[in-house]
Amino acid sequence: MAVCRKVMPCWWLLLLAGVRFARAVDTFGPLVKATEGEVWPRPHSQITYDAYMLINPSNFTFSVKEEETSWLPDYVRRVSLLCQVSNKTCGILEEAVRRYSDSVYRYVPSRGGDLRKTNVGHLDTLSVLVTSSCEEYPYLGMDEEYELKINNVTAVLTSKTVWGALRGLETFSQLLYIDHNKEVRINSTAISDQPRFPHRGLLLDTSRHYMPLSVIREMLDGMEMNKMNVFHWHIVDSQSFPYQSRVFPDLRYVHGAFVVARKSSVGRCRQTLKEPVVYTELRPYDLYINKLCTFLNYLPVMVMSSLVKCLFCVCPVCNDLKFNFKLNVLLCLSEKGAYDPETHIYTHDDIKNITEYARLRGIRVMPEFDTPGHTLSWGPGQPDLLTPCYSFVTGKPDGTYGPINPSLESTYTFIEKLFQEVVALFPDSYLHLGGDEVSFVCWRTNPNVTSFMMENGISNYAGLEQYYMQRVVNITSYLNASSVVWQEVFDNGVTIPDSTVVHVWTGSQAEELSKASARLHLAQSIYRMEHSCLECSKYFSSISFPERCPERAVWVLQVTAAGHRALLSACWYLGRLESGGDWRKFYECEPTQFYGTDEQKQRVMGGEACMWGEVVDESNVVARVWPRASATAEKLWSSAGADTEDGASRRLEEHYCRMRRRGVGAQPPNGPGYCR
């Protein structure tokens, strides 16, 4: 019997698990019943009344206060919103009205025809009032607050800024739903809403697998629907360098000498262009020739081929003027670092297309150029940038390469010129510098790096990484850009400006954390003894504690205690896929769940859901992200504890169908079900 008593609890657990499994498989109808007209993310304040109105999308009109609308397309006038702007017309808002007009039209009832004659009121217009001048580009800390009031007579959206108006328009579109009579309803509602955190982002890796522009735009559409406002573009990594730089290497800088870039050529030029000629200084006409090469590089292939044969191979001017070098078409980093230099690259025009698409949706685009690690794809297009590895046996180079070489001054010249181009191309004021997962193996084997360390009094390789990152941060500051770095940079003691943001992505390296104060020592040791967080309260005052303290909290604690702002991603890695509705594990994450004062918690800017590209490509990445990242979006927008997981599951079921209706290929969040 004693044995039975010990075994029985296990059998009960198995039985309960079986019941839950049976419910997931054998229940009749949807596993989770979707809500109707509920908003995602949940607004900060919402009052919903019993009354409702009907909407006929075909008769929903649009006009701009004191502006002529005859120039608008017919479908916009037919399916539209009434937009009243207190001052001049705002281009971002006009574009949003066109976009949301189309989303309203998607609700055209399948039965067609006019609305049935009832005593229920009909809503014909939405008035949008923006009380301040129209801003052109989204930025950190922009005002996204809005109020939306809908009754049986009018619907009014009020905001101080265009960014708040965008978020309010999204909310309005989500309040619409189709009732049992196949008619479009909207409930009488009063909403007052604003985001909890200013930085609500999604990281997308386009290096491990190249993502077409159409996929990136679909991601941005999903972000707009979830009120996320930062697209973190991890555009390059070790596997490929799809960013097409116009700066490098039109002239490569190698050991103090400039070399003319070389590329495989066509026709008779193939035999004449063998090796680039090295010069110790630039001559005046070199710059003009390189500008000509740049122009030729953008011409159609057949035209360029003929011109190359003429100018570069048989043109007598080249010989008569004794230029003494062989010209060539410019070579970009992406042409040697990309998977395919023609089809798997992002040109400047591509990037401008994406940043504009994001701008119109109130989304910032923050590029990441991760160094000194994660840079193997940089090497083929930029010789001497990476560190040659040496054999422990022979003491000679073994043909492999490690991180960027921090011992060469040419490295920092290259970084400054590349970042100058990047900062000019991307409108956002923040540049993510990476700085994570740097292997020291190659640095240890390279005698030149070792000599550099001895000459500069650097005693260890973490100190060498600190030296490199310090210079890169300084370069970024010199270019009037603000830096974001992965947490290892902070951990290694790099002196970073107060404006630098530390991005927390892991909790597995707590032993290497720098200790900001004795309070941190104590908090960490107590955590490592696996004590309840509440047991720590006797050591601290005016600090709130969760029931358990995840290890990532130690990172956030130390970053904020040192006076830096922090971003959190450690609990929102979308690549960690589990069966079933695994969005719940993301919904459980609380950004301010760490030992800290209110002042420290205010330094948490928000966070990002991260979609790394090792096992996703254009065929599955959208479904892998949505609606799982929607959980992150709500945790960053809505008040803490705004909803339970069960309540959120019903709203997310509706939101998933809503995203699919509007062209975002989201996957089912909960289990068996259907979309109307």
pLDDT in tens, 222-254: 999 999 999 999 999 999 999 999 887 432 233
Cβ neighbours for 407, distance < 8 A, ≥ 6 positions apart: 448, 449, 451, 452, 453
Of 650, 498, 636, the C-alpha closest to 36 is 650
pLDDT at 323 over 60: no
Interval 102-124: pLDDT, tens: 887 777 654 444 555 566 788 88
Residue 283 has pLDDT above 80, yes or no: no
Q: Which of 51-65, 139-153, 386-400, 477-491 has the lowest mean pLDDT?
A: 51-65
Distance CA 547, CA 525 (A): 17
Residue 594 has a pLDDT of: 79
Q: What is the pLDDT of residue 109?
A: 57
581: region left, alpha or beta (phi > 0 left; psi from -120 to 50 alpha): beta
pLDDT of residue 63: 45
pLDDT at 550: 57
- 3 state SS of 13: helix
* The two three-digit tokens of residue 255, written as one number: 């050991």
> Are the C-beta atoms of 92 and 360 separated by less than 8 Å?
yes
Pairing of strands 251-254, 257-260: antiparallel
Residues 6+ apart with CB under 8 A from 451: 407
User: Structure tokens of 435?
Assistant: 């700085």
* pLDDT score recorded for residue 68: 36
Residue 320: pLDDT band with limits 50, 70, 90 = very low
CA distance 125 to 82: 5
**Which pLDDT score is estimated for 371?**
97
pLDDT of 65 higher than 60: no
- The DSSP bridge pattern shows strands 177-178 and 155-159 to be unpaired
Lowest mean pLDDT among 180-189, 286-295, 578-587: 286-295
Mean pLDDT, range 640-661, rounded to an integer: 94
Whether the CB-CB separation of 113 and 56 falls below 8 Å is answered with no
Mean of pLDDT values over 465-471: 94
Here the tokens at position 342 are 């023609």
Cβ neighbours of residue 457 closer than 8 Å, sequence gap 6 or more = none
Would the pLDDT of 367 be above 50? yes
| CA atoms of 184 and 15, how far apart (whole Å) | 44
Residues 620-644, mean pLDDT to the nearest whole number: 96
Name the percent of the chain lying above pLDDT 70. Answer: 70
pLDDT in tens, 530-572: 333 333 333 333 333 334 445 566 667 778 878 889 999 999 9
Are 91 and 165 contacting, i.e. CB atoms less than 8 angstroms apart? no
Handedness of CA 633, 635, 639, 645 (dihedral sign): positive
Comparing 312-326, 457-471, 472-486, which segment has the lowest mean pLDDT? Answer: 312-326
pLDDT of residue 597: 85
Per DSSP bridges, beta strands 146-150 and 184-193 are: antiparallel
Q: Residue 266 above 50 pLDDT?
A: no
- How would you label 539-571 residue by residue, b for 16+ Cβ within 10 Å and e otherwise? eeeebebeeebbebbbbbbbbbbbebbbbbbbb
Residue 179 has pLDDT above 70, yes or no: yes
Rank 60-64, 427-431, 513-517, 526-530 by mean pLDDT and report only the highest.
427-431
* Distance (Å, whole) CA 473 – CA 419: 11
pLDDT bucket at 13, cuts 50 / 70 / 90: very low
Q: What angle do CA 365, 368, 374 make, to 5 degrees?
A: 155
The stretch 403-423 carries a mean pLDDT of: 97
Q: Which residues contact 490 (CB under 8 A, 6 or more apart)?
A: 496, 502, 514, 558, 559, 562, 564
d(CA 315, CA 313): 6
β-strand partners of 129 = 158
Does the pLDDT at position 183 exceed 80? yes
154 Rama class: left (phi>0) / alpha (psi -120 to 50) / beta: beta
pLDDT of residue 152: 84
Residue, of 452 and 114, whose pLDDT is higher: 452
Q: Cis peptide before 372, with omega less than 30 degrees from 0?
A: yes
88 has a pLDDT exceeding 50: no
Whether 369 has a pLDDT exceeding 80, the answer reads yes
Give the integer Cα–Cα distance in Å for 190 and 46. 6
pLDDT for 119: 63
| 353 pLDDT above the threshold of 70 | yes
136, 356, 409, 437: which is the annotated catalytic residue? 437
Token representation of residue 657: 């169908």
Tell me the β-bridge partners of 185: 54, 177
| Cis peptide, bond prior to residue 284, ω within 30 of zero | no
pLDDT of the residue at 243: 95
User: Mind listing the pLDDT tens digit for each residue in 18-62?
Assistant: 433 334 456 789 999 999 999 999 999 999 999 999 988 888 764
High-pLDDT (> 90) share of the chain, %: 55
Is residue 135 annotated as a catalytic residue, yes or no? no
Residue by residue, DSSP assigns 335-394 as HHHSS-TTTS-B-HHHHHHHHHHHHTTT-EEEEE---SSS-GGGGGGSTTSEEEEE-TTT
Whether 621 shows a pLDDT value over 60: the answer reads yes
Residue with the bigger pLDDT between 404 and 259: it is: 404
Tell me: pLDDT of 405 over 70: yes
Per DSSP, the three-state class of 613 is: coil
Q: What is the pLDDT of residue 612?
A: 97
Torsional sign, CA 555, 556, 560, 561:
negative
| Tokens describing residue 39 | 């908003």
Among the listed ranges 99-108, 144-153, 415-424, which one has the minimum average pLDDT value? Answer: 99-108
- Tell me what pLDDT residue 120 has: 76
Report how far residue 632's alpha carbon sits from residue 628's, in angstroms, rounded to the nearest whole number.
8
> Is residue 292 classed as helix, strand or coil in its secondary structure?
helix
pLDDT at 106: 75
User: Edge to edge, what strands does the sheet with 257-260 contain?
Assistant: 251-254, 257-260, 278-279
* Higher-confidence position of 302 and 380: 380
Which residue, among 135, 207, 184, has the nearest Cα to 164 in the 3D structure? 135
pLDDT at 331: 43
**347, amino acid identity:** T
Confidence of residue 273 (pLDDT cuts 50, 70, 90): very low
Q: For position 292, what pLDDT does the model report?
A: 55
Sheet strands (E) in 131-216: 146-150, 155-159, 177-178, 184-193, 199-205
Going along 56-198, which residue ranges are E strands?
63-64, 82-83, 121-122, 127-130, 146-150, 155-159, 177-178, 184-193
| Strand ranges (E), 409-551 | 430-434, 482-486, 501-504
Q: Which of 50, 58, 196, 23 is nearest to 641 (CA)?
A: 196
Predicted confidence (pLDDT) at residue 86 exceeds the cutoff of 70: no
State the chain's mean pLDDT as an integer.
78
